[in-house]
C-alpha cells in the first residue's frame, strides 16, 4: 500500500470533515467541501422564494470552482502537492480566524477555495479513486469493491474496502470532533 499517501489522505479527510461541520454549524447551513449541499440549499431557497440568501451558496460554489482551476495550474509547478497543501492550510486558518457574524460568507469562500485545492492533491491510492474532502464517492467506491469481492473473491477489493472505509470513518471523526467542540 502507498502508506504515506494513505495516511496523508486520512489526515486531510479528517480536516475536511471538521471544516464542513464548522461551516455548516457556524455559517447557517453553508458547506465548504460538500458543494452538493450548497446546491440543495439553492434549490430549496428557490422553491420557497427565499431569494435573499441564495448568493452566499452560489459564491461558495464559485470559490470551489476557482480552487479547482487554481489546483490545475499548481500541478504545473515542482512539488505541487506540498505547495497545494500549504495554500489549503493558509486558507483554512484564514477562514477560521474571521470572526463569526456578518463575514461568515467570506470565511466560507476562503475555506471552500482551500478545500477545492486539497481535493486535487491525492486522487487515488493503490489505483482506487478517492476523495479527501467528501464521502459520496468513497462510499460508492467501497460499495463497488464489496460487490466485486463478493462476485470475484479477488482480495485486491478487500484492500479497496479498507481504504474507503477508513477514509469515511476519518471524515466522520472530523465532523464528530468539531461538533463536540462547538
**pLDDT tens-digit readout, 76-132:** 999 999 999 999 999 999 999 999 998 999 999 999 999 999 999 999 999 999 999
* Residues whose CB is less than 8 angstroms from the CB of residue 100 and which lie 6 or more positions away in sequence, other chains included: 26, 107
Interhelix angle 104-119/54-74, nearest 10 degrees: 30
Taken in order 93, 31, 162, 80, the sign of the CA dihedral is negative
Q: Which helix (H) or strand (E) holds 57?
A: helix 54-74
Cα 167 off chain centre by? 11
User: pLDDT at position 7, please?
Assistant: 93
**pLDDT tens-digit readout, 6-15:** 999 999 999 9
Mean pLDDT value across the chain = 94
Distance between CA atoms of residues 110 and 94, nearest Å: 7
User: pLDDT at position 53, please?
Assistant: 85
Number of neighbours of residue 181 by Cβ within 10 angstroms: 10
* Residues whose CB is less than 8 angstroms from the CB of residue 171 and which lie 6 or more positions away in sequence, other chains included: 13, 14, 16, 17, 134, 135, 138
Confidence (pTM): 0.90
Amino acid at each position: 500500500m502507498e502508506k504515506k499517501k494513505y495516511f496523508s489522505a486520512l489526515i486531510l479527510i479528517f480536516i475536511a470533515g471538521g471544516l464542513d461541520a464548522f461551516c455548516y454549524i457556524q455559517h447557517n447551513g453553508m458547506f465548504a467541501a460538500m458543494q452538493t449541499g450548497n446546491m440543495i440549499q439553492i434549490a430549496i431557497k428557490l422553491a420557497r422564494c427565499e431569494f435573499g440568501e441564495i448568493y452566499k451558496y452560489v459564491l461558495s460554489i464559485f470559490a470551489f470552482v476557482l480552487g479547482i482551476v487554481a489546483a490545475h495550474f499548481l500541478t504545473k509547478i515542482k512539488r505541487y502537492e506540498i505547495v497545494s497543501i500549504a495554500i489549503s492550510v493558509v486558507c483554512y486558518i484564514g477562514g477560521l480566524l474571521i470572526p463569526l457574524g456578518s463575514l461568515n460568507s467570506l470565511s466560507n469562500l476562503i475555506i471552500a477555495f482551500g478545500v477545492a485545492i486539497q481535493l486535487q492533491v491525492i486522487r487515488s491510492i493503490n489505483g482506487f479513486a478517492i476523495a479527501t474532502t467528501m464521502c459520496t464517492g468513497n462510499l460508492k467506491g467501497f460499495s463497488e469493491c464489496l460487490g466485486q469481492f463478493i462476485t470475484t473473491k479477488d482480495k485486491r477489493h478487500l484492500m479497496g474496502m479498507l481504504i474507503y472505509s477508513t477514509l469515511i470513518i476519518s471524515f466522520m471523526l472530523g465532523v464528530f470532533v468539531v461538533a463536540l467542540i462547538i
